[in-house]
Amino acid sequence: MFDVVSKGDAEIYFSSEYYYLGKSKAFGFFGAVPFGLTMDEYYAWLYYGGGQQLWDELSARFNLKPFVSSNTGVQMGGWFNKEIKSLDDFKGLKFRMPGLGGEVLRRMGAAVVTLPPPEIYQALQSGAIDATEWIGPWHDLAFGFYKIAKFYYWPGFHEPSSVTSYGVNLKVWQSLPNDQKELLKMAFESEAHIQSSEYDAGNPDALDTLLNQHKVQLRQFSGEIVREIAKRSAEVVNEQAAADPDARKVWDSYRAFAKKAVGWAKIGVQGFMNARAEYMNFG
């Protein structure tokens, strides 16, 4: 679809940029970055930290004008047919995961495959794959993964901010009068935030259904596993950034913003979350 819209055979696509690493490694930073920015932090970087300008520059080389679509927020670690107790359990594990997260797991010894959404359930059911990530409880419940795999792991590392996108043919975009451009921009942004809110609204009830009605076993990755994933994630992201000048330019901006965002999150967001969890009971 990237090529079809780039050539002008269609006017717009809906997708995610991490599918287009073959076009430029820089596109990965506009999809999902392992251990990267959260949903709110990503929007802040995109709108006010220079992210959109860099995305525009990159996409213009392919005759495209990009816009952010929905953001699913922090995703889960995935569905597994067996418990994951140690690093050795990843070796040879047939795991469905696209993007940079897939490369991280590959370096941990997993046999990573990329499957389109309609094929995931059947592949898990048949044993063609041993584990899969999808999104989070709301969508995972709808896909029915609980019928096959009973172990549901957290935390997710691969897509702390999973961004989908609209790509508009650049010549079509440039041909529009300014008022129509502004209307489209407002519509895209509004839909993005509405959809993001839907995930935050849908995930709690869906998780409750998975755990209490379908008896899914929620498991947390061990500290040893998370540390290794973080180590491999740093390797993958830095190599991605070194792949070409565009990727380096985008990563430098992303990383500089992330450094500031993490500093604020420790005090503002994480500090509040820790206090709320310890002292406030909404039950």
Structure confidence at residue 283 (pLDDT) = 64
Mean pLDDT of the chain: 95
Q: In this predicted model, what pLDDT tens digit does every residue of 164-213 receive, in sequence order?
A: 999 999 999 999 999 999 999 999 999 988 988 999 999 999 999 999 99
264-276 pLDDT tens trace: 999 999 999 999 9
Q: How many domains does the chain have?
A: 1
In a domain, 130, yes or no: no
Identify whether 274 is part of a domain. Answer: yes
Ramachandran area for residue 3 (φ above 0: left; ψ -120 to 50: alpha; else beta): alpha
pLDDT given for residue 146 in this prediction = 97
pLDDT on residue 83: 96
Position 34 in a domain: yes
59 in any annotated domain: yes
101-121 tens-digit pLDDT: 999 999 999 999 989 889 999
Residue 35 lies in a domain: yes
Query: Does residue 95 lie within any of the structural domains?
Result: no
Q: How far apart are CA 109 and CA 5, in angstroms?
A: 36
pLDDT in tens, 35-81: 999 999 999 999 999 999 999 999 999 999 999 998 888 999 999 99
The CATH number that applies at residue 258 is: 3.40.190.170
Average pLDDT value for residue range 136-147: 96
Give the range of the structural domain holding residue 27, as residue numbers without chain letter: 2-72+159-217+251-279
Least confident of 98-102, 172-176, 243-247: 98-102
Asked if residue 110 is part of any domain, the answer here is: no
The band of 222, judged by pLDDT with boundaries at 50, 70 and 90, is very high
Q: Is residue 64 part of a domain?
A: yes
Asked if 27 contacts 15 with a C-beta cutoff of 8 angstroms, the reply is: no
Q: Where are the alpha helices (DSSP H) in the chain?
A: 2-7, 39-48, 51-60, 99-107, 117-126, 137-143, 170-175, 178-212, 223-242, 245-267, 269-279
